[in-house]
Amino acid sequence: MSITTVGLDADDTLWHNETLFRLTHDRFCDLLADVAERAVLEARLAEVERRNLRLYGYGVKGFTLSMIETAMELTGGEAPPRVVREILAAGREMLNEPVEPLPGVDQALAELSERYRLVLITKGDLLHQEQKLAASGLGDLFAAVEIVSEKDASTYERVFARHGTGAGQAAMCGNSMKSDILPALEAGAWAAHVPYPLTWAHEMADAPVGHARFVELESIRAFPGWLASIA
């Protein structure tokens, strides 16, 4: 079996993302500390985020709107203008945060691009994801970029058929078990999980047990070698 196409997740696989969300999350809780206890704030924000995913999708803009909505709900619709301004400022800072590839990403992608067709497969806001890819300096290494609203088996089947020779001859690498690994395996691809220190609760899922096409790697540096071993 030869691999012809390699899919790579973006956020928390190629560069930091969840760390920024956690920092802004903490800032939000501090901002509303006099309104409710932290546990209440976190539970309500998580609830609002889940409710809004189908409307706003993934990314900073949806997160910012969910923080504002949570603040309005917890204050009976009377959130002080100062609070709203602070939330908007926090979201703007996240959008302007510099993008720096994680350790080993540059070398791994350069090596992979010499042997395989690389496809970036990521969720999130279209404009922001495009901006982050451009800022990362990695864009030229990808043959294609797919920014999708959701990652499920049909997504991987479609992407790997469009940009490669089908899921059976493709491999996916990412940090999310729920979005990057399980649906790619379901589509028939190979999948390498490279954990990130932080994982959003919405992306939590159990690892597959005894799956012949799955591997867990400590670093993306090991990904090219694993792919070579498949061939």
Report d(CA 211, CA 90) in Å as an integer.
Answer: 41
- pLDDT value at position 40? 96
> What are the φ and ψ backbone dihedral angles of 182, each rounded to 5 degrees?
-60, -50
pTM over 0.85: yes
pLDDT higher than threshold 80 for residue 5: yes
From CA 212, how far away is CA 8, in angstroms rounded?
Answer: 20
Amino acid at 199: T
> 222 falls in which pLDDT band (50, 70, 90)?
very high
- Cα–Cα distance for residue pair 153/129, rounded to 1 Å: 22
Give the SS3 label for residue 16: coil
State how far the alpha carbon of 221 is from the alpha carbons of 59, 156, 225, in Å.
27, 23, 8
Evaluate whether 18 touches 176 at the Cβ level (below 8 Å). Answer: no
Query: Which residues make up the CATH 1.10.150.240 domain(s) of the chain?
Result: 18-95
Residue 225 reports pLDDT greater than 70: yes
* Host H or E run for residue 193: strand 190-193
Least confident residue range of 9-13, 31-35, 55-59, 103-107: 55-59
Strand partners, 122: 147
Summarize the confidence of residues 8-27 as an average pLDDT: 93
The pLDDT tens digits for 22-49 are 999 999 999 999 999 999 999 999 999 9
- DSSP track, 80-112: -HHHHHHHHHHHHHHHT----BPTTHHHHHHHH
Cα–Cα distance, 22 to 45 (Å, whole number): 12
Whether the CB-CB separation of 40 and 206 falls below 8 Å is answered with no
Each as own residue / partner, the long-range contacts of residues 177-182 (CB below 8 Å, 24 or more positions apart, any chain) are: 177/203, 177/204, 177/205, 177/206, 177/207, 178/202, 178/203, 178/204, 178/205, 179/9, 179/123, 179/151, 179/203, 180/9, 180/13, 180/151, 181/205, 181/207, 181/208, 181/214, 182/208
Residue range 86-118, pLDDT digits in tens: 999 999 999 999 998 999 999 999 999 999 999
Helix (DSSP H) and strand (DSSP E) numbers for the chain: 9, 6
Q: Which residue type is seen at 57? A: G
Residue 151 near residue 123, CB atoms below 8 Å: yes
Question: Would you say residue 1 has pLDDT above 90?
Answer: no
Arithmetic mean of pLDDT, 147-167: 96
Mean pLDDT of 174-189: 97
Superfamily of domain 18-95 in CATH is Putative phosphatase; domain 2 (1.10.150.240)
- What CATH class does 5-16+100-230 carry? alpha beta
